[in-house]
Chain A
C-alpha cells in the first residue's frame, strides 16, 4: 500500500468552501500541523462577503473598501498557513470516508480526507410575487455580487426591496457606482430594528458601518419606505419595470398601493443556510427559523451528527461574516485535536480564546438573522397563479392541488408537480414550496419536511464528468422515493 502521508490526494482535513468560515478553519487546522485542503468553486477565496475583483478589473490606487481589506488579509493568512488551496472546482459529490469529487476547468478531480469541515455558506431567499421572474428583477444578495466583483449596477434606476442589513448596504453601494436608487422598501419597521439594537451593540464596529450606509442613503435623499412589501412587478413603458408596493399593516394586510418605476428591482428576504452537503451525508437537521431555516445540528465544537463532519459559518445558521471566521477557527483547531495532531492542551487553550471573540460577533449576526427570518404572511400573500418554482414553472395553485390530492410533505409534492426537480434543485423554490405545503395542511414546517439530499451538490454538466467536453446537459436528480 502507498504511504498515505505521501499520497497527494489524501488529507487529514478537507474544508469545503473558502469564505471566511472555511478560510478560518483551514488556517487554524494547518497551524496545528494538519495536512489541509481547501476547495472552492470561485476563482479566489473570500466567499460571498469578501469577493475579490476578477483578474482584469482593477481599481484606482487608494480606492479600497473595508471588505476588500479584510478579504486580502484573510487571503494572505491562508497563503502563509501551508493549507493547500484549490479554486475553480465545484464539488458535486461527497461520500463516506469523505471521498470528495469535483469538477474543475481541466475536468474531474478527487480527494480523500479523514475529516471534513463544511463551510458552504448560504443562498438567497426571495419570496415569490407576481413578476419575480421578469428579467431586471434580481436578488438583493445577487446585487452585492454585481457591485463587488463587477463594479456594476443592474440598471440606472434601481428599486431596492426586502429585509435585512443588505438593504442599506446595496442602496449605499449602488449610489457609489452611479446608479439612482429610486427607493428602499424595507419589510422591517423601526420597532423591528429597535429590537435588534441591544445585540448589535456588542459589535460597535459593525454598527458604525451600518450607520455609515444609512448616512450615505440619507445624503442622496433616497426615499425609505418602512414596512413596505412588493406586491407585483410588471413590464413598463420603454423596457422599464413598474413595481407596485404597499405598506403592510399591523394585521399583515397591505394598505394603499404605491407605484414606482425602475430599470431594475433588487429584492431579497434573507438568506437560507445551504444544507446540500449535510443532507447528502444524512446529518440530523433541526428547523430553526430564527437562524434561517433548516440547519444541521452541531455541538459547541461544530461537530454534526455524522462522525468527522464539521459545519461552520452561515451554512450552520446565519451569524454573519465575523462570526463565520471565528467559528471556522474553532472548528479547525477542534478537528486537528480530534485527529491527534498538535498539542491537545495548546489547542484547547486557543479554542477558549477564539470562543470569546466568537460570542461578541455571534450576537450581532443573530440580531441580523432575526430581522431576515422567514415571515409567514409574505408566503400567504403569494397569489395562486404565481410561479413558485422558476425552473419548472410550477404555481402555488399546483402545489396546493398536490396537497389536496394527498401529498403531505415536500418530497411528494416534488414528485407529483416537478416543483424543485429542475436544474436549481429546489434552491430557489424550496422555502416557498414548504411554507405553502405546511400552510395548506395547517401543519408545521417540520411536518412539511425538507428535500432529501442528492448528488450533485451543485449542478454540473454530465458530459463534463464523463470527460466529454462537447454539448453538455444538466443532470436532473431522481425524484425522492415516496
Chain B
C-alpha cells in the first residue's frame, strides 16, 4: 500500500459518482480513470506478482504494463483506460 493520489482542488469541476469496489460502496468522480479513482481512495495495490507475491500497482497509466488489470463490470479491463461511471462494479484481481 502506498499513499493516496491527490486531486487538484482549485479550478477543476468534477461530478461525484458512487461505485462498488470489492463489494463496498465508495465514491469517485465521473470520467476519471478507474485506476486514478482507486489511487485517490488510497488503493494503490491492485494485484500481487505471480511468483514473488509482491504488491503491484498502476505503473504506465497508458494501457501497456497491464499492472492495473481489474475486473470491471464482469470483464478484465485496464483500470487506467476505463473511465469511471456511476454504479460500476470494480474488483481487484488479488
Q: Are B2 and A241 in contact (CB under 8 A)?
A: yes
Q: How far is the CA of A461 from the CA of B56 in the complex (A)?
A: 21
Most buried by B among A53, A154, A469, A471: A154
Residues 26-65 of B at the A interface (beta carbon under 8 Å) = 29-33, 36, 39-40, 44-46, 49-52, 54-65
Tell me the count of chain A residues lying within 8 A, CB to CB, of chain B: 66
Q: How far is the CA of A152 from the CA of B7 in the complex (A)?
A: 4
Q: Are B55 and A134 in contact (CB under 8 A)?
A: yes
Shortest beta-carbon distance, A142 to chain B, in Å? Answer: 4
Determine which of B3, B10, B50, B71 lies in contact with A136 in the assembled complex, contact meaning CB atoms within 8 Å: B3
Q: Are A387 and B52 in contact (CB under 8 A)?
A: yes
Q: B3-23: contact bitstring with A at CB < 8 Å (1 yes, 0 no)?
A: 111111111111100000000
* A59: Cβ under 8 A from any B Cβ: yes
Task: Report chain B residues within 8 Å CB of A143.
Answer: 61
A133 with B76, Cβ < 8 A, contacts A57-B12, A142-B61 known:
no
Task: Report chain A residues within 8 Å CB of B44.
Answer: 135-136
Q: Which residue of A lies closest to B42 (CB)?
A: A239
Which range contains the number of B residues in contact with the other chain? 35 or more
Q: Which residue of A lies closest to B81 (CB)?
A: A41
Q: Are B63 and A152 in contact (CB under 8 A)?
A: no
Q: Are B3 and A393 in contact (CB under 8 A)?
A: no
Shortest beta-carbon distance, B79 to chain A, in Å? Answer: 12
Q: A128-161: contact bitstring with B at CB < 8 Å (1 yes, 0 no)?
A: 0000011111110111011001111111110000
Q: How far is the CA of A178 from the CA of B65 in the complex (A)?
A: 27
Q: How far is the CA of A58 from the CA of B66 in the complex (A)?
A: 28
Q: Are B9 and A178 in contact (CB under 8 A)?
A: yes
Contact segment of A184-192, A301-309, A310-318, A420-428: A420-428
Q: Are A459 and B32 in contact (CB under 8 A)?
A: no
Q: What is B's interface to A at a CB cutoff of 8 Å?
A: 1-15, 29-33, 36, 39-40, 44-46, 49-52, 54-67, 69, 71, 74-76, 80-81, 83
Top-5 shortest CB links A-B: A136-B2, A56-B31, A135-B57, A263-B3, A56-B30
A-B contact pairs, 20 of them (CB 8 A): A56-B30, A57-B31, A60-B10, A60-B13, A134-B55, A134-B57, A135-B56, A136-B44, A141-B60, A145-B80, A146-B5, A146-B61, A150-B33, A153-B8, A156-B3, A178-B8, A458-B63, A464-B75, A469-B75, A473-B76
**New A-B pairs, 7, CB < 8 Å, besides A145-B62, A239-B2, A461-B75:** A57-B12, A135-B55, A155-B2, A264-B3, A387-B52, A424-B66, A472-B76
